[in-house]
A and B are shown apart, each in its own frame.
Chain A
Amino acid sequence: MRFSIAQDDLVERITLATKEVFSMMLGGEAVPGPPRTEDGGVGPTEGVVALVGLTGPLVGTGSVCCSPELACRLAGQMLMTEYHAVDNDVLDAVGEVANMIIGNLKTTIEDQFGAMWLSVPTVVYGRNFTTRSMGRHNWTVVPFTCDGMEMQVQMFLTEANDLTKLMRPGLTVLQKG
């Protein structure tokens, strides 16, 4: 049996999960832009990136990327406090946003394919870095506009048995540029 999700379907699941998290936890709106596919290297080269791994019948990684300014805004809306610089609270809040979005997505995938497991989120903040996943696969990237600023939700998923295409499933490498 082959396990796979069409890109349109994945985009719809990402969009629904992201909009729900924003409306329920952040009291705001995330407006989706046109989705795209990127090969291998993904994401911005600076800012805040939260990564969550998925494993089960499908394996992969989901990420939420945004600017430090938007990260502070999201943390402020979640915690009802004003943040002017990225600190542990801000990183923690962005990690939790990623956890909820990818966790919601995981639940919809489980309904179709069976039990899946999530990693604990990892959050990276800095400048001039490169994010790359090992293996040959495409990332689905959905940009959102929140409070006039852009955030990206990105995901790649592949069948767990398809290991020949992957050196290390779910492994993401961050390189200082």
Chain B
Amino acid sequence: MAVDILIVDDSAAIRKILQRVLLQAEVPLGKVHEAGDGVEALAKLSEEKVGLILSDINMPNMDGLELLGKLKSTDTLKDVPVVMITTEGGQAKVLEAVNLGAAGYVRKPFTAEQIKEKLVGII
């Protein structure tokens, strides 16, 4: 069954790459929505339902960890799996994301295989 996805990253290049990688990874893609930061992501989620969110951490206006916290404290969004895809590879950031409820964590740079492997158990 196709899954609608929201990709949150301030880099349009990374948003495009992730879409391509999801196709390469044979993820059953439905609609793919994009947002440039956490604020845009929340606005998009007030209009669209998605089954998976891929989010960067280091973004302007609202970063990925603040977004994750808000998603997990919102009844209608708390069950949507969120995978962090970020240059933030330090153990403290990974732990913070996991404690906030992230379903997975992928460090940039990434390969299509790494994304596929991470998503297999989630969708």
Contacts and interface: CB of A to CB of B under 8 A. Distances in A.
A93 B13 contact: yes
B90 interface: yes
Contact of B12 (A89, A104, A107, A118): A89
A24 B86 CA distance: 14
Interface stretch (A41-49, A72-80, A132-140, A141-149): A72-80
Given A107-B107, A120-B10, 4 more contacts: A92-B12, A107-B88, A115-B90, A120-B60
Interface in B46-88: 58-60, 86-88
Main secondary structure of the interface of A (DSSP, over half): helix
Q: Which 3 A-B pairs have the closest CB atoms?
A: A103-B87, A24-B109, A107-B89
Interface of A: 20-21, 24-25, 75, 78-80, 88-89, 92-93, 95-96, 99-100, 102-104, 106-107, 110-111, 115-116, 118, 120
Contacts of B11: 92, 95-96, 99
Given A92-B13, A93-B13, A99-B87, A80 B109 contact: no
A100 B59 contact: no
A118 B58 contact: yes
Contacts of A96: 11, 13-14
A115 B110 CA distance: 22
A104 B13 contact: no
Interface of B: 10-14, 16-17, 20, 58-60, 86-92, 107-111
Nearest to A116: B90
A78 B92 CA distance: 29
A89 to B, nearest CB: 7
Contacts of A24: 109-111
B13 A110 contact: no
A55 to B, nearest CB: 12
Nearest to A110: B90
A120 B59 contact: yes
A20 B58 CA distance: 20
Nearest to A74: B13
A158 to B, nearest CB: 20
Contact of B108 (A79, A103, A116): A103
Contacts of A102: 87
Contacts of A104: 87, 89, 109
